[in-house]
Amino acid sequence: MNPARIRCSKMAEEIRNSEVGSAAAATATATATAKSSSLWPSVLRWIPTSTDHIIAAEKRLLSLVKTPYVQEKVDIGSGPPGSKIRWFRSKSNESRFINTVTFDAKEGSPTLVMVHGYGASQGFFFRNFDALAQRFRVIAIDQLGWGGSSRPDFTCKSTEETETWFIDSFEEWRKAKNLSNFILLGHSFGGYVAAKYALKHPEHVQHLILVGPAGVSSYSDPKYETLTQFRATWKGAILNHLWESNFTPMKVVRGLGPWGPNIVRRYTSARFGTYATGDTLTEDESRLLTDYVYHTLAAKGSGELCLKYIFSFGAFARTPLLNSASEWKVPTTFIYGFQDWMSYEGAMEARKQMKVPCEIIRVPQAGHFAFIDNSNGFHSAVLHACRKFLSPDPDSDFDSLPDGLTSV
C-alpha cells in the first residue's frame, strides 16, 4: 500500500468522511438484518471491530496531533527469509504488514523509532509526537500481531521461537523501510523486544531507550521469592493456572461483548484520570483513547498470546535481560516513572555488568506510562538521553539533567 500523506488541514475532512462511511455501512447492515436485530436490545449487540476499525480509531486519536504524518502498511513478507516457518506458522503465504506512522521532521534530524508495550499500540504515544517531532524524525509502529498491523494465528511453542518472531518481524520492517543508525525506544514489553533486537542487531541502533522495560530482573530478585510464596496459596495457584493457560485481559474484553467498551472506558478513566499520577486526560483525549484502545484489544488475538512464553507468572522474564547485560553493545538509557511498578533496581544491577555507557533517569509524577502521565518530564528525559545526537540549544546546559528529573 502506498503511503498516504495526512496533513492537519485534511485531518478533519478525512475523519468526517470516515464517520460518514461508517454510518452508511451501519445503516446498510441494519436494513439487511432488521428482523434479527429487532430481537436484541441495543445493549446486547456486539460492537464490531477489525483492522479497518483500528486504523479509523487511530486517525481519530491522532487528530489531536498537529504535526503532519504519513500512515502506511509496511510489507514484511510471509516469514523470515530462509526460514521454513512463516509468521506464527501461518498456513498462508499471505504477506504480512506492520502499521507505521512517520512524522514530518527537519532535514537531518536523527531518527527515533518508538515501540509500544503489551496490550498497547503506537497510538498510546499521542501526547508525545508533537514535542518529539520538533527534534527527531519520529517513526512509531504497531508490532506484528498488535494494533493495526497484521494479526496472524499465534502458534509459537517456545520462548526462543516467540522472541525470534518479534525480533525478525521488526528486522524485516527495518529492511523494508531502509533504516539504519536510528535511536530505538521501547516501552514495557516493547522495551524487552527493543533490547533483544539491539542484542541481535547492534549495528543498526545508535542508542537504546528503555521506558519502564519489562523483563529486566532475574529470578534472584527478592520480589520473586514473595511471588513464589503467593503462588503456593490457592489464589496464587488459580492465577498461575490462568497465566499458563494463556488467559489474557483481551479475552475478557472480547468475552464481555457489548459491555467491553464500557469496561475499557472505566479502565482508561481510572488509570489516566481518577488514579492518575500526573496530568489527567482531557475529555476529548479520554473519549478518543478509549475508542482506540477498545478496538485494539477486541480485535483478533495474535501478539497477545506471547505472554506465557516470554514471562512467567508475575511478569518475570523467562530469559531476563539482566542475564545478557554484559553482552550489550549499544549505549542505553533507562527511564522510569517515580511510581512505576517496574522497578529500576533491575536496571541498576544490569548497569554494573554493562560495558557500554548506561544511565537511569526517573520522571516525577509518573507511573508506568510516564509518557502519558508526565509528558513534559518524559520529553525532557528523552532529549537528555539523546543529547549527543541533537544540536545543542545555546540557551541551555545540554549536559546537565533537566530540572525535576532524577538520575540514579
pLDDT at position 299, please? 92
The contacts of residue 24 (CB under 8 Å, 6+ apart) are none
Position 229 confidence tier, pLDDT thresholds 50, 70, 90? confident
pLDDT in tens, 310-329: 998 888 899 999 999 999 99
d(CA 303, CA 301): 7
User: Residue written as cell 481518577?
Assistant: 274
pLDDT at position 392, please? 65
Position 88 confidence tier, pLDDT thresholds 50, 70, 90? low
Position 406 confidence tier, pLDDT thresholds 50, 70, 90? very high
Tell me which of 114-118, 183-187, 275-279 is least confident.
275-279
pLDDT at position 239, please? 87
Position 47 confidence tier, pLDDT thresholds 50, 70, 90? low
All three cell numbers of 28? 446498510
pTM of the full structure: 0.85
Of residues 155 and 380, more confidence is placed in 380
Is the separation of the CB atoms in 368 and 341 below 8 Å?
Answer: yes
> 10 Å Cβ neighbour count for 393?
11
Is the separation of the CB atoms in 169 and 162 below 8 Å?
Answer: no
Is the separation of the CB atoms in 175 and 204 below 8 Å?
Answer: no
pLDDT at position 349, please? 94
> For residue 66, is pLDDT > 60?
yes
Among residues 191, 220, 221, which one has the least CA distance to residue 332? 191
Assign residue 212 a region: left if phi > 0, alpha if psi is -120 to 50, beta otherwise?
left
Among residues 98, 51, 54, which one has the least CA distance to residue 74? 98
> For residue 138, is pLDDT > 90?
yes
User: Residue written as cell 515501540?
Assistant: 115
Of residues 226 and 109, more confidence is placed in 109
Position 34 confidence tier, pLDDT thresholds 50, 70, 90? very low
Among residues 326, 315, 339, which one has the least CA distance to residue 118? 315
pLDDT at position 243, please? 84
> For residue 289, is pLDDT > 80?
yes
Of residues 180 and 82, more confidence is placed in 180
Mean per-residue pLDDT for 358-373?
95
> For residue 228, is pLDDT > 70?
yes
pLDDT at position 28, please? 38
Position 3 confidence tier, pLDDT thresholds 50, 70, 90? very low
Residue 306: CA atoms inside 13 Å, Cβ hemisphere, count? 30
Tell me which of 136-145, 186-195, 394-403 is least confident.
394-403
Secondary structure in 3-state letters for the chain: CCCEEECHHHHHHHHHHHHHHHHHHHHHHHHHCHHHHCCCCHHHCCCCCCHHHHHHHHHHHHCCCCCCEEEEEEEEECCCCCCCCCHHHCCCCCCEEEEEEEECCCCCCCEEEEECCCCCCHHHHCCCHHHHHCCCEEEEECCCCCCCCCCCCCCCCCHHHHHHHHHHHHHHHHHHHCCCCEEEEEECHHHHHHHHHHHHCHHHEEEEEEECCCCCCCCCCHHHHHHHHHHCCHHHHHHHHHHHCCCCHHHHHHHCHHHHHHHHHHHHHHHHHHCCCCCCCCHHHHHHHHHHHHHHHHCCCCHHHHHHHHEECCCEECCCHHHHHHHCCCCEEEEEECCCCCCCHHHHHHHHHCCCCEEEEEECCCCCCHHHHCHHHHHHHHHHHCHHHCCCCCCCCCCCCCCCCEEC
Among residues 280, 294, 407, 271, which one has the least CA distance to residue 347? 407
Q: What are phi and psi of 291, to 5 degrees?
A: -60, -45
Position 397 confidence tier, pLDDT thresholds 50, 70, 90? low
